[in-house]
Amino acid sequence: MRSAADLRRRWLETVPLLTSRTGMFARGGKEMETLARTLMGDLCFVDERDRDHEEIIQGLGDRFGKLGVYGPFAKMFGSERDYAAEVVSVYAEHFHRLGYLDIDRRLEQAEWETLLTGVRDRFEERDVRRSEVVAAYGPPSLVVDGRVLCYASDDWVFFDSWTESRQEYVPGEGRYERVSDPDPLIRSVRVPSADFDGGLILTLYGKVLRWGPGWWVRRPGVRASEATRVIAAQLRAVEARDPSQR
């Protein structure tokens, strides 16, 4: 029979695989949440760190709500999408703090302050690609499933990219193949905050994914001109008078 040390070693080997190969372990955010939470609980149990685990779980509940880390993502962008990478990125921060996950890079204080100071102006309501994040801030501390870039200091910032694969015909071969954008757009940025909404920055792409192309009518953004705000108000007034919209 294998010892507790053998189990611990096996669990520690699993942690980095969760971040690099999420699809091998879970089909979506709900499954990933169960797996990551259980794995963290098992490691903390073996190491007699029950209090650390309880504090982490309590903190996640306070920030993300009763549906767990998965809940706010599903509510914002739709339950039909896969949020395994986003979910495990949140747990990765805590795995690292507990000493169970190594990262490639830790930002110096000056780098961290530069990132936080300029991130909202650089990303909110703008279209930005993943390569532009790396060009601006250097290589990430951790990449989750190839699409969530994590930058770590005492806290973490997450850049969530998103692309939906599509089928394209392959000329001369008589078949279709699934393709996706090799340099996807950033959908959202998550910065340290007491709650999910307070720490979420939506790019232009993210706002379209969240509310559709007409997002600016109901929610004129920070970059909206006065003329745009006037037009949006007029459209809302027309909609309010339309019985079919009630």
Which pLDDT tens digit goes with each residue over 189-214? 999 999 999 999 999 999 999 888 87
Of the ranges 81-85, 120-124, 215-219, which one carries the lowest mean pLDDT score? 215-219
CA–CA distance, 33 with 31 (Å, rounded to integer): 5
More confident of the two residues 217 and 186 = 186
Q: pLDDT at residue 174 above 80?
A: yes
For the chain, percent of residues with pLDDT exceeding 90: 72
Share of the chain above pLDDT 70, in %: 87
Q: 68-111 pLDDT, tens per residue?
A: 999 999 999 998 888 999 999 999 999 999 999 999 999 999 99
Q: Which tokens is 233 given?
A: 């108000």
Q: Greater confidence, 180 or 127?
A: 127
User: Which sequence spans correspond to the domains of the chain?
Assistant: 1-102, 106-213, 214-246
State how far the Cα of 138 lies from the Cα of 154, in Å rounded to an integer: 17
Which among 58, 85, 83, 57 has a CA at the least distance from the CA of 70? Answer: 83
* Contacts with 236 (C-beta within 8 Å, 6 or more apart), sequence order: 217, 218
